[in-house]
Chains A and B, each alone.
Chain A
Amino acid sequence: MKAGSNLEKVFASGGFAVTGELGPPKGNDGEVVKKKAAMLKGFVDAVNITDNQTAVVRMSSIAAATIALQAGIEPIMQMVCRDRNRIAMQSDLLGATAFGLKNILCLSGDHQSFGNQPGAKNVYDIDSMQLISTVKRMRDEKKLLNSDDVLEGEVKMFIGAAENPFAEPFEYRAYRLKKKVEAGVDFIQTQCIYDMKIFREWMKVVCDLGLNEKCYIMAGVTPLKSAGMTKYMASKVPGIIIPQEIIDRMSAAPKDKAAEEGIKICCEQIQELREIKGVAGIHLMAIEWEHRSGEIIEKAGLLPRPKID
């Protein structure tokens, strides 16, 4: 075991893992985190706690992850390279592991121009690839960056990263994953998948490169809530591809049944993804739909979640 997190144990036991997502509040009410954690408890093996996603100021990922952990659900703290330099990141890693956090997801972070602090100075002292290697160095060699002094204590982190099989250049995407594996990533969560054809092609290259044996790959899914959301995502969100067939299905559904149709599509996708070689789990991104995540996971036949000590 590298970190001994529940997520790592599920993978190691050969289980098909399920992770969810929990967005911290735009305020400091810990109850909000506890409520969302309660909705997801028992349905997922671990839950991502976003780090000021879309560059909007929210409760810190580490604080919200700690509250979630106390509420009985295992967090995956996200860490973006946008807001902190290597001093702050390594210090936060020491703090996070002291609080008992055991999973991290290393990300570049959405550019600050998207959020509510567009005039902020960004940091990018190190990038997400370099962050992966930094966490690995702290964990495996017990050393900080640029220092050969041995760290006190152990930084047990199961290291994750995101990958987008749908961002061009497509042909390069699997090679980028290889680079992440070499940097030290243990698991990957993909961008939300709607186009199975492109995803299958990506997975094939990933398997041909043997990467599915070096890290666990979790297929990302997001339930569509309405025809409007579908069209918006298809045309406006960079790096998301939605096939016409799905757009048509969502448009054809009556307004009050659209959410049900979206959940149905999501469950079908999960079934399909489970069959694809190399897919080790599902990452369900249903932000602000935490209350329906359990239902989707149940309908997709992913219950009960394994109990491992």
Chain B
Amino acid sequence: MIIADRKPIDDIKNMLSPYKKILLVGCGTCVSVCMTGGEKEVGILASELRIISELEKKGWEISEDTIQRQCDREYIEPLSEKFEAADIIMSLACGVGIQYMAEVFPRHMVLPAINTTFYGTTVSEGEWQERCAGCGDCVLHLTMGICPVARCSKGLYNGPCGGTDKGKCEISSDLDCAWYMIYNRMKDLGKLDMIGTFIPPRSWKASLNGGPRKRVREDLKK
């Protein structure tokens, strides 16, 4: 899923300062699961903003809504009346949702309440970790299912580097070295010969470096 962090309240406050009628919109998918932008978090942000409005005489009128998915037109369109009634929309969805709402309602500004950070998973209660960087050319079959792009601090294809330290990455003792894990899994599964295989320079065209990406399936197009 997509993981995100809420922006600091001061940043949010500054963004909203020029407006009066504020609509906060949450998303019921990834950001709900990672507890950043679901219904509950929309409620918390709304309360914070109401208190600030009281204390600082902002005169804000805050309304809230959370839809199933902000990356889907069908769920966004029913918000049309609420959009019309507001001066400004603030979204608690990932960067995709924020943009897509603005696309569906091009006459409205949609502000971000959260920072979209990575594609990851919940590893334990209250901890999420990155797993994939959407690089467009997956090599998990060469690296024992551990991503060298997203999980090695240097994105090395032929690691580990000389800085690996007792299973930890050179940049932090609380970060596991991806290549140490790759090596161990190869060893455990009797595939150590794989570590000797040179992975040649790849093309980054399939990644963001090839320009914004789009996917087209002619057979599905109407």
Q: Does A191 contact B (CB under 8 A)?
A: yes
Cβ 8 A contact of B154, one of A86, A111, A169: A111
Asked if A167 lies at the interface with its beta carbon under 8 angstroms from chain B, I say: yes
**How many chain A residues touch the partner (CB < 8 A)?**
37
CB neighbors of B among A195-231 (8 A)? none
Query: In the complex, A128 Cα to B183 Cα: how many Å?
Result: 18
Q: Does B103 contact A (CB under 8 A)?
A: no
| B105 to A: closest C-beta gap in Å | 33
Within 8 A of B (CB), among A80-112: 81-82, 86, 108-111
Contact A111 B163 (CB under 8 A): yes
Partner of A169, one of B162, B183, B199: B183
For residue B199, which residues in chain A have a CB less than 8 angstroms away from its CB? 129-130
Q: Is A140 an interface residue (CB 8 A)?
A: no
Q: Is A141 engaged at the interface, CB distance under 8 Å to the other chain? A: no
A256 within 8 A of B: no
Query: Contacting A168 at CB < 8 Å: which of B156, B161, B166, B195?
Result: B166
Contact A111 B180 (CB under 8 A): no
Whole-angstrom distance between the alpha carbons of A168 and B159 in the complex?
12
Q: Does B158 contact A (CB under 8 A)?
A: yes
Q: Does A116 sit within 8 A of B, measured CB to CB?
A: no
Distance, CA A125 to CA B167, complexed state (A): 24
B162 touches which one: A124, A126, A127, A239 (CB < 8 A)? A239
Cβ of A286 within 8 Å of any chain B Cβ, yes or no, is no
Number of A-B contacts (CB under 8 A): 90
> Are A238 and B165 CB-contacts (below 8 A) given A82-B154, A127-B156?
yes
Contact call A238/B198, Cβ cutoff below 8 A: no
Q: Contact between B196 and A125 (Cβ–Cβ < 8 Å)?
A: no
A191–B162 CB distance below 8 A: yes
Complex interface: chain A residues within 8 A of B198 (CB): 129, 133, 179, 182-183
In the assembled complex, the Cα of A126 lies from the Cα of B203 at a distance in Å of 10
* A239, B165: Cβ atoms closer than 8 Å: yes
What B residues does A110 contact at CB under 8 A?
A: 163, 170
- CB neighbours (8 Å) of B165 from chain A are 167-168, 238-239
Inter-chain contact B164/A113, CB cutoff 8 Å: no
Chain B nearest CB from A165 CB (Å) reads: 10
Contact of B167 among A127, A128, A168 (CB under 8 A): A168
B153 touches A (CB below 8 Å): yes
Q: Could you tell me the distance in whole angstroms from the C-beta of A145 to the nearest C-beta in chain B?
A: 6
Q: Flag if A108 contacts B156 (CB, 8 Å).
A: yes
List 13 A-B pairs, Cβ < 8 Å.
A108-B156, A110-B170, A111-B163, A114-B171, A126-B201, A127-B155, A128-B158, A129-B199, A130-B158, A133-B198, A168-B164, A238-B164, A238-B168
User: 8 additional contacts, CB 8 Å, given A146-B201, A168-B167?
Assistant: A108-B154, A124-B154, A126-B201, A127-B156, A130-B200, A145-B201, A167-B163, A239-B162
